[in-house]
Amino acid sequence: MMLVYGMLSIRHQLGLSRAVWLCGLVCNVSAAAESAAAPIDPATNPPVRPEEVERDRALQLDELNTRAQTALREKKWAEAAEAMQQLVAAEPDRWDFRRGLAGAWLNLGKYEDAIGTYEKGIALARQALATARTPAQTEELKKALGQMLANEGNAYLKLGKSDEAMAAWGQAAECDPNPALAYFNLAATCYNRGKSAECLIYCDKVIAADPARADAYYIKGSTLFGNAQLGKNNQLIVPPGTVEALQKYLELKPDGPHAADVRAMLEDAGVKPASAKP
């Protein structure tokens, strides 16, 4: 009987211990559940306000844009393209981000990508121009459009698509407040393609927009010189305006890359080349 009683006592004690352990487990689980279900105290865990989220996002974009602009200035085109791609993904309606990305593609030799990106940037800039509220905004957008269209034309030219390039430059000249570069590209392309009449028209437009652009006088003078005829005693007769254009080039760039050719043309025309100004 003592043995049986002892065994029963041991079983009783084990049963009590197990009951205590189970009770502790249940209490712990209940406490954890109560803790999880307890409301967050606004005093210690205030909710994030929408304006704070937007502010943090703006700061991140500013930092990324700074990195992208620095890469563009330093001509680190691959790094600039990577940063600009992130900016475009975050703000797809920003024309200036697309302009930066397209510029990076252009300098990396990815001309098709540059053209596609410029097209989207140009469309966005045109939309912004339609709703511009101040003269300053209008001026900025027209200038940006002119730059994007001019660079798009350069990309087309790299691909050997002269007609598309000239179309883009023509649009650039129409909207850019300073159209001299676009007109010069048109003049140079016509010159290279042997389109003398169109070349002369664009040369005059370049000179009207930027009278100090020496190469416009060289192209104009060279084009006119190409239409020279032989007169009596094999004397070379050049069209009106030839000598003036060639002399103006020497006045602006006496040591320019075309100076020797210009002097030779003038001498063939029986004209003494202009001397360099002291």
Taking a C-beta distance cutoff of 8 angstroms, is the pair 84, 101 a contact? yes
Residue 113 token pair: 């990508």
Same domain, 229 and 191: yes
pLDDT at 278: 45
Same domain, 151 and 163: yes
Q: Could you give the angle at the alpha carbon of 173 between the alpha carbons of 168 and 175, nearest 5°?
A: 100
Kindly report, residue by residue over 4-15, the tens digit of the pLDDT.
333 334 334 434
Separation CA 245–CA 223 (nearest Å): 10
* Helix runs in 2-134, H state only: 2-37, 50-73, 77-90, 95-107, 111-130
Same domain, 80 and 153: yes
Same domain, 96 and 194: no
**Domain-located, residue 6:** no
Q: Does residue 22 surpass a pLDDT of 80?
A: no
pLDDT at 56: 73
Q: Read off the pLDDT of each residue in 255-271 and give the average, rounded to a whole number.
A: 94
pLDDT at 7: 34
Same domain, 132 and 203: no
pLDDT at 8: 34
**Domain-located, residue 105:** yes
**Domain-located, residue 19:** no
Domain encompassing residue 85: 65-177
* CATH number where 145 lies: 1.25.40.10
Which of the listed residues 139, 154, 177 is the one where a domain comes to its end? Answer: 177
Q: Read off the pLDDT of each residue in 176-184 and give the average, rounded to a whole number.
A: 96
Cβ count within 10 A of residue 208: 12
pLDDT at 40: 53
pTM of the model as a whole: 0.76
**Domain-located, residue 7:** no
Same domain, 168 and 189: no
Between 38-42, 45-49, 245-249, the lowest mean confidence (pLDDT) is in 38-42
Kindly report, residue by residue over 115-151, the tens digit of the pLDDT.
999 999 999 999 999 999 999 999 999 999 999 999 9
Which of the listed residues 151, 177, 203 is the one where a domain comes to its end? Answer: 177
Same domain, 69 and 163: yes
**Domain-located, residue 39:** no
Q: Does residue 28 surpass a pLDDT of 90?
A: no
Same domain, 171 and 73: yes
pLDDT at 210: 97
Q: Looking at the 3D structure of the chain, how many domains does it have? A: 2
Residue 263 token pair: 């002097």
274 band by pLDDT with thresholds 50, 70 and 90? confident
Between 28-32, 104-108, 154-158, the lowest mean confidence (pLDDT) is in 28-32
pLDDT at 59: 84
**Domain-located, residue 133:** yes
**Domain-located, residue 13:** no
Between 86-90, 99-103, 267-271, the lowest mean confidence (pLDDT) is in 267-271
Same domain, 231 and 260: yes
Same domain, 172 and 187: no
Same domain, 69 and 160: yes
**Domain-located, residue 107:** yes
Indicate the length of the chain as a whole number: 278
Share of the chain above pLDDT 90, in %: 72
Q: Does residue 50 surpass a pLDDT of 80?
A: no
Encode 18-55: b = buried (16+ Cβ within 10 Å), e = exposed.
Answer: eeeeeeeeeeeeeeeeeeeeeeeeeeeeeeeeeeeeee
Which of the listed residues 134, 153, 177 is the one where a domain comes to its end? Answer: 177
Same domain, 135 and 71: yes
